[in-house]
Chains A and B, each alone.
Chain A
Amino acid sequence: MALFRSNKNIFSLTEDLLVRVREKLATESDRKSFRLVCREFHRIDLLTRKHLRVLRIEFLPSLLQKHPQLQSLDLSACPRIDDRVVSFLLTRVGPGSNSPGWANWTRGLKCLVLSRTTGLRFTGLEMLARACPCLKSVDVSYCCGFGDREAAALSCAVGLRELKMDKCLHLSDVGLAKIAVGCLKLEKLSLKWCMDITDLGVDLLCKKCLDLKYLDVSYLKVTNESLHSIASLLKLEVLGLVACPLIDDAGLQFIGHGCPLLRVIDVSRCEGVSSSGLISVVRGHSNLLELNAGYCLSELSTTLLHWIKNLKHLEMIRIDGARISESSFPVISTNCKSLIEIGLSKCVGLTNMGIMRLVSGCINLRVLNLTCCHSITDAAISAIADSCRNLVCLKLESCHMITEKGLCQLGSSCLLLEEIDLTDCCGVNDKGLEYLSRCSQLLCLKLGLCTNISGKGLSYIGSNCTKIHELDLYRCSGIGDDGLEALSRGCKKLAKLNLSYCKEVSDRGLGYIGHLEELSDLEMRGLFKITGVGLEAVAAGCKRLADLDLKHCDKVDDSGYWALAYYSRNLRQINLSYCGISDIALCMVMGNLTRLQEAKLVHLGNVTVEGFELALRACCIRIKKVKLLAPLRLLLSSEILETLHARGCIIRWD
């Protein structure tokens, strides 16, 4: 494989050694630096790069031509993908445009992500399925217009192992049958929200695709008959049944006697399921790894608990919303020692004592969800901090009694903590944040509705939690410009920030935000003090900005929107509701930003009907989702509405 080239310099490494070094580069920014070094390194990058997520259609042909070794291609973020584009890419992209037949990049392609490519249709899909002989995994989720013809096109990919068709709303049993018969090697199938699927379709699937390991039929109106069919799948390991309204305990009995390899089951929000159904499942599968029964159990009965005791390998259990008695916890903690994740959100009857008993045995716990467990106080947090030193994620939303004492314990003992949700914990103050900031591995911090924190508290986070990439300060009325300064100096990796209704923030604060180069998701609703100056600072500084929510920022003038249209080339999603943007500025924003695919444009007081017409025409070839006021339906031209519909754009009329 390696050519031993004559070294100009004894210390220059050969190609295959460089390939190995390149393969060890873990971050995308390092890989991008690598390809900038020199031509040789660029060539090596092209050889080793196996996965591409293309952001812009203009680059697509040249990228595909340069990467003949591609194994996975993700076009979900690329606007304007449709049948014509696919046809062009398949026939014209290859070594020299006179290459006959299919282009080279399809040869090794194993994985294709086409979720949300609403412009694609069955012709394009069939071309792709036939062109890629090694295709193993396809994702067409959220292509809401897809149905049976698209399923038939996909069934041409006979080697398919994984298929995601969530929210392909027109998929029915007919389409599912084509897939079942065509893709016999299917191992993983997801059909969430494909509401037209019935028991007939599921039955045929289970008779044909005997290798199925993963099946998700959440939200579907399938009945116990489907569970009877599914029970015959001997290799099934993961079963998703979230919010299936028509299944109940009788159906779960079938599962209890079947699917011998079942490891993961999710029956959350299934109204018909109760303890006895779960008992059937648990009794038949003592090797269960994950059990999700959130919001379907009214109570964790003693019989169910008795059977859960036998699940020695259980790693995850979620019983959100159930009533639990204190005596249950010692049973769980003494028997289920492998537990890594426990979900007790909105559980009735949860007390400090219960928590203490639970964590004393479950020392390997990494994820604990105590959302809305109002009776929890600092004593429970102390116990958690003491026992669970490996804790990574802790959710304490609405635990009003938590104060800085509890956070002090966390800051001393749980140093691996990466995610903590303290939304609506009014007891959190600046001192608490000082203690919490000792968890220097923090990645995600949610402080929504914590009205008692100020810039001082944020400055502790800013100095110590340098890895943080998500911060939620929704309605933290005590936060102002000074807090943002501390944040911008220390938290350089911040990618997602919510400042909605932090009313004290002004243009000065946004100036600091402009220093956050990694920021991609910014929600800043209701900031009544900011003007175009602030928005310009953000647009010019945050080059990676992809999601922006400016709802109710009515003092922002056009200079801000012009800056947005000029600088924010990566913007994908925008909410301008209740903003004072003018006709021309709206047209510039919608027209110039070639990556913009979703826009909420309701209650734009200064935009006329002509303004909307022009703006929509400027972006109609790439916009995928737009929210408009209902009266516009009758006022906009029929041509624009038809064009948008033909491209697969979804219009929500408010």
Chain B
Amino acid sequence: MSMAAVETKKITLRTADNHEFEVEEAIAMEFSTIKTFFDENPDASEDTIPLPNVTSKCLSAIIEYCKSHLAFRARETSSSIDEQVRTYDEEFVKARDNESLKELILAANYLNIKALLDMLNQAVADRIKNKSVEYVRRFFGLENDYTPEEEAAIRAENEWAFEGVDPDDD
């Protein structure tokens, strides 16, 4: 990993809407998809990598995220650092609307950034927590495709048939 202040290697990424981003190698290596690509093609480092599934808005947010997390990791681990990481993650997610959250998930999945993907999935779960079925449908942009009989059967199951108890609970 190059840590030299002056000659840091940069990788060029081109998004779906034809914007080019120059990112430091360290950050690009956080994207496992890109890392794998370079591991297999070590001579391709000068080329521009096309990312047809990622918009520029998403990519810039993701780059910010990876940059900040790299910086956090460079410092010593302590509970105050953990606290700062938590706050950063919360802020990262808070301002985004449901659509951009889903866009980010798809991008993070495509680029294969495990930690970010995990954090975003949790954020989605938190947003649909304690909400009505209708709300969840609107969130995911889905229609109710059950027939009335099917829906009644599922409701009956939910009400009477079972509990999903984790066996570790007493």
Contacts and interface: CB of A to CB of B under 8 A. Distances in A.
Interface of A: 9-14, 17, 20-21, 24-42, 49, 51-56, 59, 63, 72, 74, 77, 111, 113, 137, 543, 569-570
Give the interface centre of A31, A49, A59, A113 by most chain B CB atoms within 10 Å: A59
Nearest to A59: B161
28 contacts: A10-B103, A10-B106, A11-B99, A11-B102, A11-B103, A12-B140, A13-B140, A17-B105, A21-B124, A25-B125, A27-B129, A30-B128, A33-B128, A33-B136, A34-B136, A36-B154, A37-B133, A37-B136, A37-B137, A37-B144, A39-B150, A42-B154, A53-B162, A54-B162, A56-B161, A59-B160, A77-B163, A111-B167
A35 B159 CA distance: 12
B142 A72 contact: no
Contacts of B167: 51, 72, 74, 111, 113, 137
B164 A53 contact: yes
A153 B130 CA distance: 44
Nearest to A14: B109
Given A27-B130, A54-B162, 12 more contacts: A17-B106, A17-B121, A20-B117, A20-B121, A32-B158, A35-B154, A37-B133, A51-B165, A52-B164, A53-B162, A53-B165, A56-B161
A41 B133 CA distance: 11
Give the interface centre of B124, B133, B158, B167 by most chain A CB atoms within 10 Å: B167
Nearest to B137: A37
Interface in B114-170: 117-118, 121-122, 124-125, 128-133, 136-137, 140-146, 150-151, 154-155, 157-167
A543 B137 CA distance: 26
5 closest A-B pairs by beta carbon, nearest first, are: A24-B125, A59-B161, A53-B163, A32-B158, A53-B165
A12 B121 contact: no
Contacts of B141: 9, 11-12
B102 A13 contact: yes
Contacts of A28: 163-165
B164 A39 contact: no
Contacts of B109: 14, 17
Contacts of A54: 161-162
Contacts, number: 118
Interface string B84-125: 000000000000000100110110010000000110011011
Contacts of A20: 117-118, 121
B160 A569 contact: yes
A472 to B, nearest CB: 19
Contacts of A41: 142
Nearest to B135: A33
A119 to B, nearest CB: 19
A10 B165 CA distance: 35
B90 to A, nearest CB: 16
Contacts of A9: 141
Give the interface centre of B143, B146, B158, B161 by most chain A CB atoms within 10 Å: B161
Contact of B145 (A11, A34, A38): A38
Interface in B11-59: none
B121 A21 contact: yes
B164 A51 contact: yes
Contacts of B165: 28, 51, 53, 74
A570 B136 CA distance: 28
B117 to A, nearest CB: 8
A338 B146 CA distance: 55
Contacts of A63: 157, 161-162
A24 B146 contact: no
A14 B117 CA distance: 13
Contacts of A55: 160-163
Nearest to A543: B159
B132 A38 contact: no
